[in-house]
Copies of this chain bind each other. A is one copy, B any other.
Amino acid sequence: MIIGAQGLGRVLCQDLRARRTHLHFLADIQLNMSIVFAKRLDNVETSAIRELFKLLGKPGIISFAGGFPDSAVFDVDGLRAASQQALADDADAALQYGATEGFGPLREQLAQLMAARGVRDVGPGDLIVTTGSQQALDLVGKVLVEPDEPVLVEAPTFLATIQCFRLYGAQLLGVPIDGDGVRVDELEALIRQHRPRFVYLIPTFGNPSGATLTRARRKRVLELAVQYETVIVEDDPYGELYFDAPPPPSLLALSHEVPGSRDWLVHCGSLSKVLSPGLRLGWMVAPPALLSRAVMCKQFSDAHTSTFAQAVAARYLAGGRLPAALQRARAIYGSRAGVMCQALRDRLGAAVDFVDPQGGFFVWARLTGAAGSPRDSAALARAAVDRGVAFVPGAPFFCANPDPGTFRLSFATAGEDRIREGVDRLAAALAA
């Protein structure tokens, strides 16, 4: 007997175990009990994601599906030098256990980085280092999510966030977005109605939306935080990857314009997109009461983030190479974005609708169904794989009520010629 349905299954199973010695007539029935897992796992649905990743294994495929930086952009020389230096400086510190809050020299560098991004009054003690910004989200979930209580996220939003918060039992509600990011009128209405535990936003070059919240809307979000005493979690992995002009200041940088808003603001940063994801380094700025609880939870999650990786990053940042590396990355990703958008317009025309991203990794597009063209991106994704190009259908990015016509294209990892070729294949799939 393999137990599938957990509720009844577990009761039945325990009952059988308890009575086993008395149930001699059951002795020759094969009891194949299985491990009973926590009910929180039932909140998570990963089959859509698994299906996506299966699509990517096909040889010769051009992938617009990933959400990662191009490794050709990594400053390998700089990181090699930094790793040698980190061990030469103080090997003991780099290889020993460290503070859960993070490695001191890295916290200092990150505070300086934030200051250069226009953030006032964030010192090394106001941030903690996390194992990628994914861990910052996990800590937010552990510290703030109460089972069955509401949390607001953009519709669409980062799919790992949806699953992460659901594992803590969050009742996710989606806030509509447009080309200028989250709609603040809808956000206010939903906050008033649901009094969420917190609101999670990617205000700059959103994943998957590519959208950037206007400065006016940013101020409104901060005002709503104060007015409704609601925590806002700002996830900002892409903000430095702008193409032409810098985006509006982050919510954190703007917070001094809205008195009291810092008391409700969590900011998650990341070195993954601008330096190297393999280091797994992110950080979190939060009000002290929240930060101390996140540290407590982190202590029991992974004790601390790799001190070795932290020491390498601290050395790298201290060496002053990041601005030049960012300039190169912006130029490369900006050109690719331009090539992709132009190719989409040239080859797909009225069949798709999208807003040109001003930074980040993603074009978020929608099948219009014009002139009998398809409306279902999941079907198109299957046809596209047959033609040798992969992308991510939009549905998994919605916590509810997915828009089946949407899909996400990453321009970050394919070269310009491959992007053109990939869009050609996409056009062929669309026409098929």
A-to-B contact residues, CB < 8 Å: 14, 17-18, 33-41, 44, 46, 68-69, 71-72, 74, 76, 79-80, 83-84, 87, 91-98, 130-132, 134-135, 137-138, 142-146, 160, 163-164, 167-168, 195, 197, 228-229, 231, 264, 272, 276-280, 287, 289-290, 293, 296-297, 299-309, 311-312
* CB pair B167 A278 closer than 8 Å: no
| Given A76-B91, A84-B84, A306-B279 contact (CB < 8 Å) | yes
* CB pair B195 A14 closer than 8 Å: yes
| B contact residues around A39 at 8 Å (CB) | 146
* CB pair A305 B289 closer than 8 Å: no
| B contact residues around A146 at 8 Å (CB) | 38-39
Among residues of B, the one whose C-beta sits closest to the C-beta of A49 is: B299
- A96 vs B69: C-alpha distance when bound (angstroms): 8
Distance to closest chain B CB from A135 (angstroms): 4
Among residues of B, the one whose C-beta sits closest to the C-beta of A307 is: B278
| B contact residues around A76 at 8 Å (CB) | 87, 91, 95
| B contact residues around A287 at 8 Å (CB) | 35
| B contact residues around A160 at 8 Å (CB) | 299-300, 303
* CB pair B290 A96 closer than 8 Å: no
Q: What are the nearest 10 A-B pairs in CB distance?
A: A278-B307, A164-B300, A71-B92, A95-B276, A131-B302, A95-B278, A280-B306, A76-B91, A97-B277, A33-B229
* CB pair B38 A308 closer than 8 Å: no
* CB pair B164 A277 closer than 8 Å: no
Specify which of A38, A72, A94, A300 lies most central, judged by the most chain B CB atoms within 10 Å of its CB.
A300
* CB pair A98 B278 closer than 8 Å: yes
| B contact residues around A229 at 8 Å (CB) | 17, 33
**What are 16 A-B pairs with beta-carbon distances under 8 A?**
A35-B144, A37-B293, A38-B142, A38-B145, A38-B146, A40-B142, A41-B296, A69-B96, A71-B95, A74-B95, A160-B299, A163-B299, A278-B308, A279-B306, A280-B306, A280-B308
Among residues of B, the one whose C-beta sits closest to the C-beta of A197 is: B36
| B contact residues around A301 at 8 Å (CB) | 134-135, 138, 164, 301
* CB pair B277 A96 closer than 8 Å: yes
- A142 vs B37: C-alpha distance when bound (angstroms): 9
- A130 vs B303: C-alpha distance when bound (angstroms): 12
